[in-house]
Each structure stands twice: as structure tokens, then as C-alpha cells.
Structure 1
Amino acid sequence: MSRAVGFSRDAVRGWAGILASAVLVFLYVRGGAGWVLGFVALAPWLRTLDAAPTLGRTLLNAWAMSVAFTLAAFPWFGAAIGHYAHVGTPMGLLVLLIAAPVFQPQFIVFAWVRRLLRARGAVLCALAGAAAWVATEWLVPKMLGDTYGYGLYPSRLLRQAADVGGTAGLTLLLLLVNEALAAALARRGEGARAVARPLALAMLVPVVLAGYGWVALAGLPAPADKPLRVGLVQSNIADYERLRQEKGADAVVREVLDTHYEMSHGAVAQHRADAVLWSETVYPTTFGHPKSIAGAELDQEIQGVVDELKVPLVFGTYDRDEAGEYNAAAFVNPGTGLLGFYRKTRLFPLTEYVPAWLDSAWLRQLLPWTGAWLAGNGARVFPLRLADGREIPVLPLICRDDVDPSLAVDGARLGARAIFTMSNDAWFTTYPQGAELHQAAAAFRSIETRLPQFRVTTTGFSAAIDPTGSIVASTQMGKRTLVIGDLPVMEPPRTLMVAWGDWVGQAAAVFLGLLAMATGVQRWRRPSLAGSPAAAALPANVAVLPPAVRLAAGVLRTFARVSLLAMALVFLFGDGPFRSNNFAQIRVFTAFFVAPELVAWCLLQAFAARLSLEGGLLVLARGRSRLELPLAEVAAVEPWRWPIPGNGACLRLGTGARWSYGLLHADPAGLARAIEAAGGAPVQERLSLRAHTYAQVRRAIQRGWLEHPLLKFGLFPLLLAIPAFRVHQLIVFGSGFGEYHVYGLAAYLKAFAIWWAAWTIAVVICAAVLRAVTEAGTLASLWLKPAGALDARWWLDRLGLAALYLGLPAWLAMKTLA
């Protein structure tokens, strides 16, 4: 009963900690003064993680927190999903919560890494956990591009540090502060001094951030040139599909264009704007590539308006080429016409495009609202030619592009002096919190690059954002508004983000890799013969082999292993179909290795038994059959001179004759000592000194997880087969999924299975060669320097693993690049 009550209390504390963190996150993401809570919001959850007794409970806790975090921070996204997919808000929320670990995978990885390193000390555990969080967000980009550090946007001072490490850097620091507070809570019973150190570290981070922000703001150059004045047209015309059904397509296009014409004339005539910016896809067809006579007339009409305004116009439209259509931004100049297009790079999954591996007719029939746009090829900078003769390099971004720091950084490196952002945030109209988050994400791109930004959306929020991330002019949600943004344009100071890119996530991944390597090296410490496994741990499963069976199994296994070495020679020096034909490789491998190895295994299984020592007897049992030998009759254990078909021994009886059965046994020396310990007469292990040392050396080297068969011969070949198969598809079919599109899913999967099998064969053959080198090197060291045999074996084993796990990927990379 006490255990049940204790478990119940632990469970209640765990759920209470998750709930407390969810409530604090809910307040944190609401903005305003709530940004302060970012430093404490995760601390209750971290306390529950530390209390989880098992890895399973830890991962369950992390899953629950990912769901709670999603519900606290993004309920509007679930509602938006339900509205967009026409399934209702409850179903949209359900989909979002079910997919929470996919939307927020960093919680799972963070908790797992902390659990693995909990015994290594609080500091390393906190650093590794924070690194795992930001590395996961870098490796697995999120649909919304969100990260925990975005919540610091309301603090003008603290957000300035984003020009050093981006929002990932802010997330990392927030996590470390939460870790320090959780550590202080854990030590509160140890006295004030124990609590003071983590509290001091927690307080130091916001102080340093504020100090850096003050210095950064003071160091920004004063504007010297004439500011850029841009008119941002927020038309508040949304839900085109509904309007088409009510008014007809032509009437809707007419209303949209006339509204934008009128507001653009006001921006130039009344407010003297240098340029005009319209929102994403405001022109819902292909500008410059008309699909009809009416489309060509509308193109000419827009050009006529631009000529009349005498200022450049940048607006959202479609572009197309022989490959397909793109969500694009068009730059149109008065007089000279179309300057060029920027094609949106970061498309929204499903709504704008469907990944090739998922795209199919049945999916589009099930989800008719899925998009079919193609992605652009990265950042581009266009010259904005103004009427007064100035030419300002401008980086355009469309909607989801502005949540990717790398695009803004690339634009700054290309020489951009301003950012033009276009979005259609109409789906946020009922959920303004989503639009606020999107605007905050866009503002961080200005902080990271120190570039001014003009941002226009269909329904709000449109804004002019200065290089500090401050909004100097903005709109309300759901209102037709003309925003006039005046921002200075100059050569920006070069930030660390522009110099190094979005480096924090990459650095965190490298740190974790080095930590894993260091941990692996520690676990690979060289053993000693004295510290080899205790021989008294007697294996229960053995094989009782008559001479003929041992001979047959030994011949089959020897044939199979020698065949692997012969295949390796053919790979290296031979010619013919075996080197290049996957089917030939599979046939030869199956006939000369798999088949004899499988027959040998079946033979050994047929004579398998359980060994035990009981009542002065050596008992070998298989089902109801028992074979008994009095221990008093055993005079010696004679290990097999050649470990074929594996390690084993013969028993020499007191009469001088050998027992008629051999024992396939991993540790003959251990068997001899176990017989003696069980009450038998002292027995001898008759083996030469070198053979005895060789057996000891082989047993002393423990096999790690890198030598687990599932990893070595299953997952590792799979990881090699994926890029190799993709290159093959690109060469033969022109795309990574070419065979799927031409011949269907079954043919595509069959082809991939063949490649996987071929790489498995390659890994098996390489492992066999490396094992042969290891054994030969060990034997050579026994003849040349027996005292160094253990060290030699250790190094040969480790170098063999390095050659396999690093050499094969390196070889594949070189072949692919070539």
C-alpha cells in the first residue's frame, strides 16, 4: 500500500509540475511583461524530470510536456487547422495535440539527453540538455519556425543579443537559467550557500543580456542618408474563395486591384512614398506570363498604374516556368517594366506544396485544398530604383521565409540594405496571437542582420520595423489601412549572425557529438587480463556436438567465412558483374555465405542444450532428455585448438579417454573452474601458453553497442543506402522519387530494398575483412610480444570499428561528390 501511495504522490507531483509550467508558458507567450516568465516557466517541469525514476517515465513526462506546451502556446494553430481544412476547431485541436511531439520534438530529445547524463553532474547535464534542445530545432526545422527565445521579443534590451546568436542563442540562455532555478529548488534543503550559487548564475544571464543590449543600442550608427519611405497596402480583403462564390472571379479580381490602385495612389500623391508594397499573392495569377488575353490586359493595366505612380511597385503574384508554378514577388519599375521575380523558398507543408514522397492522387482527393507550388532556390537581392536616383538593394521575403534566419543572413551577405516582407496572414484574422508571433519572428530577422524591414500583410499586422526590432508604424488586425513607413537605410554593422550564420544550433550539435565521442572513449578504456569477466559466470546455453556434427558445422562455417574474404578480393581486384550488379551480389552472397551459415546454425541449434552443475553431476538437458556425467570422472578440460565452429572444449576423463561429445562453450577456462568449484576433482585446462593467452585476450575485450548486429548489419547499411539510392534515382530518373513517379510505389520500394541488401552485403564483407585483420594482428602480437597482445587487440578492434563506421561513409561521400 505504501508503494502505491508513494507512486500516486509522485504522479501527482509530476502532473502538477507540467501543469505549472504550461500555465507559465501560457502567460509567457502572451507578450507584454510576461516575457520575464521565460526565465522561470520551465523550472517546475525540470523538477519533475529529475524525479522520474526510469527512462520510460522520463520520455512519457517529456511527451506530456510537449502536449501541454503546444496547448498553452499554440491553441490558435489547432483552431486555424480546423478552419482551413473545414473539419472544425475541436478536430483541428485534436490533430495538433496528437502531433505535438512532431511539432515540438525538442522536448523528447532534451529529456532523453538529460537522463543519459544525469549521473555526470548538474552542470554537464544542463549544458547537454540545452544543446540538445537547440540542436534538434536546427536539425528538424519546425513548421512555424518557433523557438522558446521568441518570447523575449517584448524586451527591447534583451532581444538585441539576437545579433550574436539569433533566437537559438536566446533559447539556449533561457534554458540554462531555468536549469539553474531548478537546481536551486532541488538544493533548498541544503542551506543558503547551496542555493546561492545557482541563483547567482540564473540572475547573471538577464543582467548580461541587458548590458549587451544597452551597448548594442548605443553602438548603432546614426542615420545619415535620406530615409526610405514605403507605402504598405493592407487591403483587408481575404477569403478569396468565398468572395468568388458570392461575386464571381472577375468581380473579385476587379475589387482587389481597384482597392490596391486607390490606396497606392494615396501613398504616393498624399504621403510621397518612394515605393509601394502589396501583400503576398495579391495578384492571383501569373504576372508576366499571362494564361489568357484577360490576364495579359491585367498585366498591362498594372504596368500602366506603376508608370502613372512613377515609383517602383513590389507585390505578391505567381511565376511559372516549364517545371511548374511558384509563389513569387514581382519587382516592377515605372517605364522599364518587370525587373524580376523572387520565388518563395520556404513553402508551407500541404497548403502550398506536398512532399514528393507523400504526394498522390488519393491524398489530393482526400485533401482537395493541398497546394502544388514549387520552392524557390534561396535568397535574392533586387535593386529598388527610386525616382530621386537612389538605388537600394532590397531582400524580398514571402510569409514563412521570415521564420528562417538563414535567408535573411544570406540576403545581408548579398548586400541588401532593407528587407521587404510580404505575407497573407488572413488565416490569423480570428487568432491575432498567431499574427503577433509571426510579426515577432520577422522582427528578429531585422535584429540579426541590423536591416530595416517593411512588412505588409493582407489583414494585419503590417509594420515598419527598424534595425533594433522596434515597430515604428503598424496596423490593427482586420482593418483596411495604408501604412507609411519611414526608415533610414545605410550600410549596417556586420553582426556575428551575418558573419557566422545561424551558428548556435550547429555548435550545439558539434558539442553533443564531441561529448558522445568522449563518453565512448571512456567506455572503451583498455581492459586488463586480470579484469576480464569472471569465469564462474557459467553460460547455460551450450551445444553438445558429436565429432561428425562438429566437423560438418565447422566446414560450413569455415566455407562461409572464407567465401566472404574471397568476395572482398573480387570487389578489390576482380572484374565482372559481381562488382556492379546488385542482383549478382545478392545471389552469390546468398549461395556462398548465407546458405552455409544458416545450415551450420541449424545444426548447432539441433544439438543445443542447457548446461548445469548439480549434485556432483554435469547435466546437459534438452527438453525431457538429459545427459549426465559425474564431475569426479572429469580430469581435464581441453579447449579446442581451433575455435571451429566456435569456442569450445573436449572433456578428458580419469581413464585417459576423451568423452564422446564436444561442448560448444564460450569460456572453456571458466567451465574448468566452475566444475572444480562445484565439488569436482581439480581439473586442468590443457592448452599451450600462447593459445591460453589468445583465448584470454579475446574474452577480455568487451563488445559495445557499436557491434550489436541490428545496428551494424541493419541500421548502418540502411543509413548508407538512403543517400546512395537517392543519387541513383537522380542519375537514372532525374529526381529523388523518379522511379516512384514512373513505375509506382511497389517498384520504388523494391528497388530500395535491393540497394539496402547490397549495402548490407558490403558492410558484412568489410566487417569480415576487418575481423580477419584483427585476429591476424592479435596472433602476430602473441608471437612477437606476448605482453603487448592485449593492447594490440584493443587498438585493432577500435581501429576496425572506426574504419567501418567512418571509412564507408567517407568513401560514399567521395564517390557521390565525384
Structure 2
Amino acid sequence: MATPHAPLNRTAEWLGALTGWRRALAAAAAGATAAFALSPGYAVPLWWLCLPVLIWMIRGSATARGAFWTGWWFGFGHFVFGLYWISFALWVDIARFWWAVPLAVAGLPMLLAIFTGFGAALFKSLAWRWRLQGAAEALLFAVIWTAMEWLRGHLFTGFPWNLVGYGWSAWLPVLQFASVAGIYGLSLLTVAAAAMPAAFAGPPERRRQAMAGTAAGLALFAAIAGWGAWRMAGTEGRAAEDVTIRIVQPNISQKMKSDRDARLANFQRLLQLSSSAGWDKVTAVVWPETAIPWLLVEGEPFTLSVTEALASVTPPGGYILAGTPRATLDGETGGTRYWNGMVAVDSAGHLAATYDKFHLVPFGEYMPFRSILPAGAVSAVAASAGDYAAGPGPRTLDLPGLPPVGPLICYEVIFPGNVAASVAPDGAEGPGRPAWLLNLTNDAWYGETSGPHQHFDIARVRAVEEGVPLVRAANTGISGIVDPYGRITASLGLGREGVVDAALPQAVPDATLYAQYGDWTLVTLLLFLSCLIVPLARRM
């Protein structure tokens, strides 16, 4: 007699028995479908479908090697659909970089898929050796998946883009858990809950545990959502006293931005937008990454003329915070060092502070292994004057009249736990942790794709993790202000030109658990779930 679970069993067995190109296609399709759980789709429930499919296929793999390739194809499909937009940057100068399009479309996903492949192989080996089924199997899968995500975010300078937890960016009550265990911790719980239904396909004795595990996972997220709603209650509208930020989004196309003959017109466009009605009533004007189109060298007459122009649109007693390439003389070698930086200029035209990007984009802002490559063999895509140098790390700038600010340029905002200074450098007196984060970026490289939406959501999560507001100025899409609970209090959408004036939200009264302990909260969660595997396995 057929049971209600018979069709599910047959589906799981059919998926597990697939071989060759059919197995590769099915795994890649599952991974591609899971990409829609992330921004801008936010279809988080898809994980409850796609991860059980992956687990059924891994179960059916005869060897760890077969499991590796199953996981690899899942990751390949996932990253191709999730990161297709990276190739759009090459079309700005396609005559020069046509050869790199296949590398961007398929090459990067092929590399990133190694992490899912290795995780699948490890999961297959341990689940087989320990004879794990049901909830124990799901928890092992979640622990290994999260460990692979963490490694992807740290090895070889790291690329923690589109982690599972980012799908909750549009579900703010659930997103509040990032303040406790960060985005990796939210990914861990999501995968653990979403993997539970895999146990529905299997022996009858396993299904009761599958039902209990699935119900527990859903109840957990209901509890997180309830706690998150309670955490957010009554916090809307809290603003720092007498601080208003003007964000300028010029919406300059990347081709126009890269046109040397258009530099002056681009600069004048920013000046004009900055000085529009109400400029004298704001505390700070914020320009995006590399908004100043010339290389600034401190003390040179041309640089002084640029800062004078900036001062003309700086509010009285306030600042303009603008992204710019900078150059300094290296006192040790006598050579010149180039920086992707930010300058803070006051209303008198004085350079009040500088900041230099510390987490650079490989191949975009510097060429890895340049010292061992033939001279001139390969040049970095974005660093025309040579590789950029890396700044000293997260910093907090103390600008009188503004709360202490932690600048981040573009790509730097994607690294959890590495966006805010914790103490003053070298034990000296200083502002310590920032009261707000400032992210300057230029997403014009990627056109009207999902990339800018994903980038904005990633930045948004940093505000929740650190418990501080985030101000984001983009050359185009998406500029805005996010409060420490992830609410967007002001924004300028993708492809729009203009300014937005808005109050700076207040930081949370006390540092979040994640801000205090970073990924140690993740380690605690991983150990807790790992300890549950043994008693759950014994109950099968």
C-alpha cells in the first residue's frame, strides 16, 4: 500500500540515482534556483526545497568524490546565477577585456563552487561513517555548510558575498539575529532548519524525527521573528541630535566616469547637486567613491584648488566627505604610493582627515603575485597608475561636530566583523568604535543588475551586526541611510540622480553581542549544534 511519503521517496531515490550530465544538470538547477532566495528575490523558503534536493543527491553518491562533484555543480549553478552581474564591469571597456568575460561568468563560480564541493564530500564521508540520519544528518550538513561559507569569506582575502543569511534582508524581525551571531550565525540556523525536510524521504522510523525537526526549525524562526519585532519596537525615528547628512548621487555612467575629457563636467555636476537648496542646513555632504576624478597629492597647488572648490559647497561649520584617489611619497623607498581613499574637508577648505581603503579588490585594485609575473604581462583592471596600496585597517575618524565615523570604501563593507575599529590605535587616546558607518561606493560598473541590490543589502546587514547606522553614498544605486535595525530611513534608487537630506539615526544604546565578540558567537553556536548531533544520532 502506498504511503503519503511514497512520491517523496521516489523523487529522492530518482535524484540520488542520477549519473553523468543528468546529475550535473539537476544539481546545477537546484543551486541556480536557490539563488532566488537572495536579493533581490528574497524567496527564502526556496532553501527548504533546494537543500533537501542537494542532500538527497549527496546520499545517492557512491563515493566522497561523487559527492564533491554533486556539491560543486550545485555551487556552480548557484554562483553563476547569483554573480552574473560581475561580467557587466568588463563591458565598460570590452575591446580591452573581452577575453575576461568567460572568466567572470564561469571562472569565478568554478572557483567558489570548490567550497560547496568540498563541503559535500566532507558531509558524505562523515554522515556515512557515523551512520547519521534525520535531524543529526541535517545538523551535520548545517555545520559543514557554514564552515565552508566562513572559509570562503576568509581564505585568499575572502569573498563572503551572497551568504545564505542575506536572504533575510527584507525580513527585518528575523534579520535582528545578526546582532547576536552575525550573518554567519543566521546562515547556520537557516541551513539547519532548511535541511530538516530531507529526512522526510527515507525509512518510516525517520519521519517522526523529521517532522519534529522541521517543526522545531520553523518554531525557532518564529521565535527569532518575535524577539526581533520586540527588539525593534519603539525604536523608529531615533536620531542623533543636530546631525543631518546630505548624500549626493550623481548617476554618472561608468563610461562617462572613465572618460578623461569628462572629468571636469562630472566634478561640476557633483558641485551643482551639492549646492542645491538646503545645503547650508546640513552637517555633512557625502560624495561617493572616487567622486573626485583627479589624483590628489597633499600640498600640491592643484590639490589645494580642488579642496577650495569642495569648501564652496561645504555647509558652514560642517564637512564634505568625498571619495578620491590619492598619492603619497613613500618615505622608505622614495617611490609613490597610490590609495583609493576618502578626504574630509571643512568649510574653510582645510583637509580635516583622510582615510584609505584597506581591503582591496584582487585583480581590480591590485594584481596578486605581481612580483613573480613577467613585467607588463597583466595589469590590474582598475589601477591605472599601478597597484593601490592597502590602508592600515578599520579606523574611526573624530570630526568635531559629527559623531565618530567609520569609513568603508565599496568592497570593504562585505566583510562581517571587520568593518569597525574596536579601540584606539596603539592604545592611544582616540574615538574607539564608531557611532556610524560610512560606505562610499560606485556600483555604476554593474548597470541595472542584481549586483547593486545585493551590495546594498550586504551593507545593510553590517548596520544590524554592529548596532550603528550606516550611510551609503553611491555614484549610482543604491544610496541611502540605514538605521541600526536595518530600516531604510532615506534612499536614492538605482539609476537616479539627486540628493537626499536626512537625519542620522542613533546607534543602539549598548554594543551588540556580535560587535563585542565577533565570530566567537558563531563558534559557540557551531559547538552547540555539533554537540546535539551525538544524542540525536543515538535516538534513531
* TM-score (norm. length: structure 2): 0.82
**What aligned pairs does 1:198-597 form with structure 2 within 5 A after superposition?**
198-218=213-233, 220=235, 223=238, 226=241, 228-239=243-254, 244=259, 248=261, 252-266=262-276, 268-269=278-279, 272-287=281-296, 289=298, 293-306=301-314, 309-323=316-330, 324-335=337-348, 337-355=350-368, 357-359=369-371, 362=374, 364-367=376-379, 369=381, 371=383, 372-386=387-401, 391-410=402-421, 414-431=432-449, 433-490=450-507, 492-504=509-521, 506=523
Q: Secondary structure at the match of 1:456?
A: strand
In structure 1, the residue matched to 2:164 is 148
**What aligned pairs does 1:27-176 form with structure 2 within 5 A after superposition?**
27-32=36-41, 34-81=43-90, 86=95, 92-93=101-102, 95-118=104-127, 119-120=129-130, 121-122=132-133, 123-141=135-153, 142-143=158-159, 145-176=161-192
Query: Aligned partners of 1:145 and 1:98: how far apart in 2?
Result: 16
Q: Does the 8 Å CA contact 1:138/1:506 hold for their aligned counterparts?
A: no
Amino acid at match of 1:156: L
Change (3 A) 1:377 1:39: farther
Change (3 A) 1:368 1:32: closer
Query: Aligned partners of 1:226 and 1:167: how far apart in 2?
Result: 30
Change (3 A) 1:263 1:242: closer
Encode CA deviations 1:644-674: one digit per residue, 9 max, x unaligned.
xxxxxxxxxxxxxxxxxxxxxxxxxxxxxxx
Query: Aligned partners of 2:351 and 2:511: how far apart in 1?
Result: 32
Amino acid at match of 2:57: T
Deviation at 1:345? 1.4
Q: Secondary structure at the match of 2:419?
A: helix
Change (3 A) 1:73 1:244: closer
Deviation at 1:242? 6.9
Amino acid at match of 2:79: T
Q: Which has the higher contact order (CA 8 A, sep 6+)?
A: 2
Q: Secondary structure at the match of 1:335?
A: coil
**Higher alpha-carbon Rg:** 1
Query: Aligned partners of 2:257 and 2:272: how far apart in 1?
Result: 23
Q: Secondary structure at the match of 1:420?
A: strand
Query: Aligned partners of 1:224 and 1:99: how far apart in 2?
Result: 42
Change (3 A) 1:193 1:130: closer
Amino acid at match of 2:514: M
Q: Secondary structure at the match of 2:514?
A: helix
Query: Aligned partners of 2:73 and 2:39: how far apart in 1?
Result: 22
Query: Aligned partners of 2:417 and 2:16: how far apart in 1?
Result: 47
Change (3 A) 1:80 1:242: closer
Larger displacement relative to structure 2 (445-454 or 121-130): 121-130
Q: Secondary structure at the match of 1:405?
A: coil
Query: Aligned partners of 1:457 and 1:243: how far apart in 2?
Result: 16
**What aligned pairs does 1:697-736 form with structure 2 within 5 A after superposition?**
none
Amino acid at match of 1:382: L
Amino acid at match of 1:158: V
Q: Does the 8 Å CA contact 2:396/2:421 hold for their aligned counterparts?
A: no
Q: Does the 8 Å CA contact 2:398/2:404 hold for their aligned counterparts?
A: yes
Q: Secondary structure at the match of 1:302?
A: helix
Deviation at 1:281? 0.8
Query: Aligned partners of 1:369 and 1:337: how far apart in 2?
Result: 33
Amino acid at match of 1:115: K
Q: Does the 8 Å CA contact 1:280/1:423 hold for their aligned counterparts?
A: yes
Deviation at 1:160? 0.9
Query: Aligned partners of 1:267 and 1:403: how far apart in 2?
Result: 34
Change (3 A) 1:328 1:76: same
Query: Aligned partners of 1:116 and 1:164: how far apart in 2?
Result: 32
Change (3 A) 1:181 1:83: farther
**What aligned pairs does 1:608-647 form with structure 2 within 5 A after superposition?**
none
Amino acid at match of 1:298: V
Larger displacement relative to structure 2 (417-426 or 126-135): 126-135
Q: Does the 8 Å CA contact 2:467/2:507 hold for their aligned counterparts?
A: no
Q: Does the 8 Å CA contact 1:134/1:508 hold for their aligned counterparts?
A: no
Q: Does the 8 Å CA contact 1:229/1:485 hold for their aligned counterparts?
A: yes
Gap runs ≥5 in structure 1? 1-5, 519-818
Query: Aligned partners of 1:81 and 1:128: how far apart in 2?
Result: 40
Query: Aligned partners of 1:69 and 1:257: how far apart in 2?
Result: 39
* Residue number among 197, 207, 210 corresponding to 1:181 in the alignment: 197
Amino acid at match of 1:11: T
Change (3 A) 1:99 1:186: farther
Change (3 A) 1:490 1:57: closer
Amino acid at match of 2:319: P
Query: Aligned partners of 2:469 and 2:26: how far apart in 1?
Result: 41
Change (3 A) 1:297 1:214: closer
Change (3 A) 1:411 1:233: farther
Larger displacement relative to structure 2 (195-204 or 168-177): 195-204
Query: Aligned partners of 2:215 and 2:423: how far apart in 1?
Result: 38
In structure 2, the residue matched to 1:24 is 33
Deviation at 1:192? 5.8
In structure 2, the residue matched to 1:574 is none
Q: Does the 8 Å CA contact 2:311/2:349 hold for their aligned counterparts?
A: no
Q: Secondary structure at the match of 2:389?
A: coil
Encode CA deviations 1:15-70: one digit per residue, 9 max, x unaligned.
56525523531431243551332343322111111111111211111111121111
Deviation at 1:400? 0.8
Give me the identity figure in percent. Answer: 23
Query: Aligned partners of 2:511 and 2:123: how far apart in 1?
Result: 36
Amino acid at match of 1:299: T
Q: Does the 8 Å CA contact 1:135/1:508 hold for their aligned counterparts?
A: no
Change (3 A) 1:435 1:409: same
Query: How many residues matched?
Result: 497
**What aligned pairs does 1:778-797 form with structure 2 within 5 A after superposition?**
none
In structure 1, the residue matched to 2:5 is none
* Residue number among 4, 11, 15 corresponding to 2:19 in the alignment: 11
Query: Aligned partners of 1:195 and 1:139: how far apart in 2?
Result: 29
Change (3 A) 1:377 1:263: same
Change (3 A) 1:339 1:7: closer
* TM-score (norm. length: structure 1): 0.56
Amino acid at match of 2:446: F
Change (3 A) 1:40 1:230: same
Encode CA deviations 1:256-277: one digit per residue, 9 max, x unaligned.
221111111126447x222100
Query: Aligned partners of 1:505 and 1:360: how far apart in 2?
Result: 38
Deviation at 1:285? 3.1
Query: Aligned partners of 1:152 and 1:384: how far apart in 2?
Result: 34
Q: Secondary structure at the match of 2:55?
A: helix
